[in-house]
């Protein structure tokens, strides 16, 4: 069981900031409580999982300070304990805004031999593979099926089909075309049809009445008009 209060550990880790004083003071506190290294580092991972980008960087800077100073101050237990959680933690700092900072920390550990070479190679590969998968753009799979219907994408524009252009005989006066009124023609056709119907009606009446069409009196009788 931890000799320091777990809630106190969490509160301290949540309150660390990216300033030298904040990181160094908490690093010295952690090294002083090296007997609780396992509980402190486990809580460190828990806080990293819930932290925002800026806070994640502060926590990794804290880790960097603890493992470097711990090695010099006989608190190398932190190196062993951090090895147990860094595989999970390294893939959580995937944000592009802190990528250079995380890469720099890994470089420092490699140059100063803080962690074993094979372990550093492993977590570096984990970080870089996570980073590349985050920023890579998936390649679309081409569909070569002959029966499939092509899909119009946002960059493709439908081909415009030109509208047919009306053509007229060469000998028609353009002014006549311009002055042409369809409704006027329709009215005249309707009037002609009515006149034609009236003529047909009169013809039938004459036929039924058996009148002499050459007789003026008969025509007057049919029309009901005075021809004088």
Pair 123, 23 in one domain: yes
Asked if the structure places residue 151 within a domain, the reply is no
What tens digit of pLDDT does each residue of 193-215 get? Answer: 888 888 788 777 777 766 555 55
Asked if the structure places residue 169 within a domain, the reply is no
Asked if the structure places residue 163 within a domain, the reply is no
Q: How far apart are CA 54 and CA 156, in angstroms?
A: 42
What token pair was written down for 148?
Answer: 């499939």
Pair 115, 215 in one domain: no
pLDDT of residue 203: 77
Pair 122, 188 in one domain: no
Pair 21, 127 in one domain: yes
Asked if the structure places residue 83 within a domain, the reply is yes
Asked if the structure places residue 13 within a domain, the reply is yes
Instruction: Please give the backbone phi and psi of residue 187, each rounded to the nearest 5 degrees, phi first.
Output: -60, -40
Share of the chain above pLDDT 70, in %: 67
What token pair was written down for 169?
Answer: 């005989």
Pair 191, 123 in one domain: no
- Whole-model pTM: value is 0.57
Q: How far apart are CA 220 and CA 215, in angstroms?
A: 9
Pair 131, 183 in one domain: no
Pair 211, 112 in one domain: no
Asked if the structure places residue 145 within a domain, the reply is no
Q: How many domains does the chain have?
A: 2
Pair 206, 105 in one domain: no
Tokens 């920390």 found at = 105
Asked if the structure places residue 78 within a domain, the reply is yes
What token pair was written down for 69?
Answer: 């100073």
Range of the domain at 76: 6-135
Pair 128, 187 in one domain: no
Compute and round to an integer the Cα radius of gyration of the chain. Answer: 49
| Nearest CA-CA partner of 135 in 146, 143, 127 | 127
Average pLDDT per run of 10 along the chain, which is 228 residues long? 81 96 97 96 97 97 96 92 96 94 97 96 90 45 42 42 47 56 80 83 73 58 52
> Of 105, 120, 135, which marks where a domain is finished?
135
pLDDT of residue 145: 42
Asked if the structure places residue 200 within a domain, the reply is yes
What tens digit of pLDDT does each residue of 145-172 get? Answer: 444 444 333 334 444 544 554 444 445 5
Which residues lie closer than 8 Å to 219 by C-beta, 6 or more apart?
A: 211, 213, 227
- What's 127's domain CATH number? 1.25.40.90
Pair 125, 182 in one domain: no
Pair 14, 103 in one domain: yes
């Amino acid at each position: 069981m931890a000799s320091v209060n777990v809630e106190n550990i969490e509160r301290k880790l949540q309150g660390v900031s990216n300033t030298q004083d904040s990181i160094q003071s908490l690093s010295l506190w952690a090294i002083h409580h090296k007997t609780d290294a396992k509980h402190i580092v486990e809580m460190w991972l828990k806080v990293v999982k819930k932290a925002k980008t800026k806070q994640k960087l502060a926590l990794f800077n804290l880790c960097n300070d603890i493992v470097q100073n711990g090695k010099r101050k006989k608190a190398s237990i932190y190196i062993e304990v951090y090895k147990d959680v860094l595989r999970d933690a390294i893939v959580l700092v995937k944000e592009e805004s802190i990528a250079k900072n995380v890469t720099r920390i890994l470089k420092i550990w490699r140059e100063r031999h803080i962690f074993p070479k094979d372990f550093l190679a492993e977590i570096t590969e984990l970080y870089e593979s996570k980073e590349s998968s985050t920023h890579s753009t998936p390649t679309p799979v081409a569909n070569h099926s002959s029966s499939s219907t092509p899909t119009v994408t946002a960059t493709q524009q439908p081909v415009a089909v030109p509208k047919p252009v009306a053509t007229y005989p060469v000998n028609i006066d353009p002014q006549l075309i311009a002055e042409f009124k369809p409704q006027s023609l329709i009215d005249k056709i309707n009037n002609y049809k009515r006149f034609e119907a009236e003529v047909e009606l009169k013809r039938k009446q004459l036929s039924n009445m058996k009148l002499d069409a050459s007789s003026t009196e008969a025509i007057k009788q049919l029309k009901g008009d005075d021809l004088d």
